[in-house]
């Protein structure tokens, strides 16, 4: 951690899978108000240890769900929401994902930043450093999967909150070995975060105010992202939750199967307004 301020055959698995017809929500004009979001970013720096332990050799951003890599799902959700540009933070050693992103989205405003960070909090801090002059940032982890329409609904609800508020996607759908529990009140404000139980769990999507970059959490809150979020809640910061019915944290092969099962029952995506470069 650089300081407390926030400022067996995996490639074969990928090539053998077929792209699910609903694997990506087709890009379309955004149905949400995104003008207040000045910075868009995806954290994709995790090592994917549980996939490697299961014999999946590709880096985590390239893990396929419905035949489509996690990073493609994430980027397409941002583009569908109207992101004019976005930053993807990768591990510095993940050359395969960097090359794949630059090839797939070569004509779009997707910028790859390669950094090896010490923790998820450090990854967030590094991602937020990449933007300038913004008031709110929309951040996603690469392994959070949900239907594109639900992601758009999260943004629509999140931007309606006060610009100084931190807004998290939360879900009652728990399919994680280490869920981050939250307890929101009747207004949606999160009153407790962390611990061994709660009403819902965090879901990997965040709308963050710029002022978070100026906070200096204590060392105990500057390790993992969950510790930083708990510190915000417990110090009385305005932290709110937007409920999404189903979000899968794709951390192992069983999660891939679960996401693909849910994908098979998802509504068809809206009509396309263009596709990324091949």
Please report the pLDDT score of residue 178 as a whole number.
87
Q: How far apart are CA 183 and CA 191, in angstroms?
A: 6
Among candidates 89, 159, 96, 99, which has minimal Cα distance to 130? 89
Does residue 60 fall inside a structural domain? yes
Does residue 2 fall inside a structural domain? no
Does residue 270 fall inside a structural domain? no
**Tell me, what DSSP letter sits at residue 189?**
B
Per-state percent for the chain, helix, strand, coil, to nearest 5:
30, 20, 45
**5 pLDDT more than 90:** no
* Contact status, residue 50 vs residue 96, Cβ threshold 8 Å: no
Does residue 275 fall inside a structural domain? no
Give tens-digit pLDDT for 155-164: 999 999 999 9
CATH number at residue 202: 3.90.550.10
**184 to 152, 169, 179, 187, 188: CA distances (angstroms):** 21, 12, 15, 8, 5
Which two tokens mark 128? 């937020």
Residue 44 pLDDT grade (very low, low, confident, very high; cuts 50, 70, 90): very high
Average pLDDT of the segment spanning 57-77: 97
pLDDT top residue among 214 and 4: 214
Does residue 18 fall inside a structural domain? yes
Residue range(s) defining the domain that contains residue 174: 10-264
The string of DSSP codes covering 212-238 is GGG----GGGSSSHHHHHHHHHHTT--
Does residue 269 fall inside a structural domain? no
**238 pLDDT more than 70:** yes
pLDDT top residue among 23 and 35: 35
**7 pLDDT more than 60:** no
Q: How far apart are CA 14 and CA 89, in angstroms?
A: 22
Mean pLDDT of the chain, nearest integer: 86
Instruction: Give buried/exposed letters for 239-262 (b at 16+ CB in 10 A, else e).
Output: bbbbbbebbbbbbbbebbebbbeb
Average pLDDT of the segment spanning 143-154: 94
**Tell me, what DSSP letter sits at residue 36?**
T
Does residue 276 fall inside a structural domain? no
Number of domains in the chain: 1
Give tens-digit pLDDT for 115-134: 999 899 999 999 999 988 89
Please report the pLDDT score of residue 245 as a whole number.
94
User: In this predicted structure, which of 121-130, 173-182, 240-249, 262-271 has the lowest mean pLDDT?
Assistant: 262-271
Does residue 167 fall inside a structural domain? yes
Q: For tokens 């709308």, what's the residue?
A: 207
Q: 10 Å Cβ neighbour count for 119?
A: 17
pTM (two decimals): 0.85
Residue 268 pLDDT grade (very low, low, confident, very high; cuts 50, 70, 90): low
Q: How far apart are CA 18 and CA 15, in angstroms?
A: 8
Please report the pLDDT score of residue 199 as a whole number.
87
**88 pLDDT more than 50:** yes
């Amino acid at each position: 951690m650089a300081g407390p301020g926030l400022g067996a055959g995996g490639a074969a698995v990928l090539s053998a899978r077929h792209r699910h017809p609903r694997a990506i929500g087709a890009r379309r004009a955004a149905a949400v108000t995104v003008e207040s979001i000045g910075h868009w970013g995806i954290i994709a720096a995790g090592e994917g240890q549980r996939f490697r332990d299961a014999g999946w050799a590709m880096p985590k951003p390239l893990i396929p769900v419905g035949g489509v890599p996690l990073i493609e799902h994430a980027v397409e959700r941002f583009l569908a929401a109207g992101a004019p540009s976005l930053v993807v933070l990768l591990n510095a050693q993940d050359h395969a994902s960097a090359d794949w992103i630059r090839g797939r989205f070569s004509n779009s405003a997707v910028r790859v930043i390669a950094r090896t960070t010490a923790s998820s909090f450090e990854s967030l801090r590094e991602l937020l450093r990449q933007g300038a002059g913004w008031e709110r940032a929309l951040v996603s982890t690469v392994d959070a999967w949900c239907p594109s329409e639900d992601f758009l609904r999260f943004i629509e609800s999140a931007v309606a909150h006060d610009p100084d508020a931190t807004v998290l996607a939360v879900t009652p759908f728990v399919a994680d070995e280490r869920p981050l529990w939250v307890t929101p009140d009747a207004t949606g404000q999160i009153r407790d975060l962390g611990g061994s139980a709660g009403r819902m769990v965090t879901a990997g999507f965040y709308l963050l105010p710029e002022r978070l970059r100026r906070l200096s959490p204590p060392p105990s809150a500057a390790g993992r992202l969950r510790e930083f979020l708990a510190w915000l809640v417990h110090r009385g910061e305005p932290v709110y939750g937007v409920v999404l019915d189903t979000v899968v944290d794709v951390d192992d092969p069983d999660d891939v199967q679960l996401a693909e099962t849910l994908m098979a029952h998802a509504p068809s995506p809206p009509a396309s307004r263009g596709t990324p470069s091949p």
